[in-house]
């Protein structure tokens, strides 16, 4: 099987390496030539969007947002223009589920199948191939390409038809964002009450308040290590999509809107490229107290 991957950023680059380790013939494309050269050195072939569309049975994208996915696939001389009927497109980006449905409808007219398959886990899990995939699309297409996704993830779950993957990812991103804000708020309280946040973390992590988010991000907050595994600006994008989707269907998301405002404040403070655990800096700003 010939596989094309467009998008070699923080997530796409290690995902490409795992595809190569699994033995897939991989063609890659990205605006960043250094990223392309790194993956070519690992065994892939550099290709234009046209070449990927013509040569590949499966096209994957890992791009920032809906406009980029639409442009790459459906824009002037987009990949879909060159794909063969019977080929498949899997978008691993986190985008608005409505956009996924719109892209799938256009591709269906060309005889091209599609899955939306956003991921959770950040850069560390992209590197070790243990991402969680949330997938939307036809059952038979999912069954056919599940082994490909399993080379990059330890959990691959079909959540429903097209758009269901990104709807699930939006729910995931809401929970992560609110959890980060809750941790930041709670540990600011303990610090201001002169109780050591490290001891509080050790005491509560095994109880009901414990979570994967807390385990992964509180050590970073305590060390004030905001090297991005997942950037604040990217989380803002995901929450924008969640809020837009919620407004379209009438779902109430008041807490999401509140945390989005915190992240926007950090963005305008020049912290948008920090890890999303940097939401703790919003609390440091308004309280005058640093957790770490």
The residues annotated with a catalytic role in the active site are 169
CA atoms within 13 A on the CB side of 248: 11
User: Tokens 């963005």 appear where?
Assistant: 267
3-state secondary structure of 280: helix
Which has the closest alpha carbon to 3: 148, 131, 123? 148
- Yes or no: say if 197 and 187 are a contact pair by the CB < 8 Å rule: yes
Q: Are strands 119-120 and 131-136 parallel, antiparallel or unpaired?
A: antiparallel
Which has the closest alpha carbon to 93: 50, 153, 35, 133? 133
- 25 φ, ψ (degrees, to nearest 5): -80, 115
- Yes or no: say if 79 and 108 are a contact pair by the CB < 8 Å rule: no
Cβ neighbourhood burial of 144 (10 Å; 0-12, 13-18, 19+): middle
How far is CA 92 from each of CA 141, 155, 163, 201, rounded to the nearest angstrom?
A: 15, 14, 12, 34
Q: Rounded distance, CA 93 to CA 64, Å? A: 7
3-state secondary structure of 151: coil
User: Tokens 């779902």 appear where?
Assistant: 251
Which has the closest alpha carbon to 59: 109, 98, 2, 103? 2
């Amino acid at each position: 099987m010939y596989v094309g991957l467009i998008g070699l950023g923080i997530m796409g680059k290690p995902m490409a390496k795992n595809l190569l380790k699994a033995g897939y013939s991989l063609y890659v494309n990205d605006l960043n030539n250094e990223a392309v050269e790194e993956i070519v050195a690992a065994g892939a072939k550099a290709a234009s969007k046209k070449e990927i569309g013509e040569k590949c049975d499966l096209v994957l994208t890992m791009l920032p947002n809906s406009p980029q996915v639409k442009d790459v696939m459906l824009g002037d001389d987009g990949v879909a223009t060159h794909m063969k009927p019977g080929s498949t497109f899997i978008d691993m980006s986190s985008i608005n589920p409505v956009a996924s449905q719109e892209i799938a409808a256009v591709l269906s007219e060309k005889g091209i199948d599609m899955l939306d398959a956003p991921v959770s886990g950040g850069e560390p899990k992209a590197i070790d191939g243990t991402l969680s995939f949330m997938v939307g699309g036809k059952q038979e297409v999912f069954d056919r390409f599940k082994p490909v996704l399993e080379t990059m993830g330890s959990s691959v779950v079909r959540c429903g038809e097209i758009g269901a993957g990104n709807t699930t990812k939006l729910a995931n991103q809401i929970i992560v964002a609110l959890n980060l804000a809750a941790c930041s708020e709670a540990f600011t309280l303990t610090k201001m009450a002169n109780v050591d946040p490290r001891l509080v973390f050790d005491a509560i992590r095994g109880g009901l308040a414990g979570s994967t988010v807390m385990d992964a991000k509180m050590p970073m907050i305590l060390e004030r290590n905001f090297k991005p595994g997942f950037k604040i600006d990217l989380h803002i994008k995901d929450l924008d999509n969640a809020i837009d989707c919620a407004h379209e269907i009438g779902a109430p998301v008041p807490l999401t809107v509140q945390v989005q405002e915190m992240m926007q404040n950090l963005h305008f403070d020049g912290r948008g490229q920090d890890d999303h655990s940097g939401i703790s800096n919003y609390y440091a700003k308004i309280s005058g107290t640093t957790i770490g």
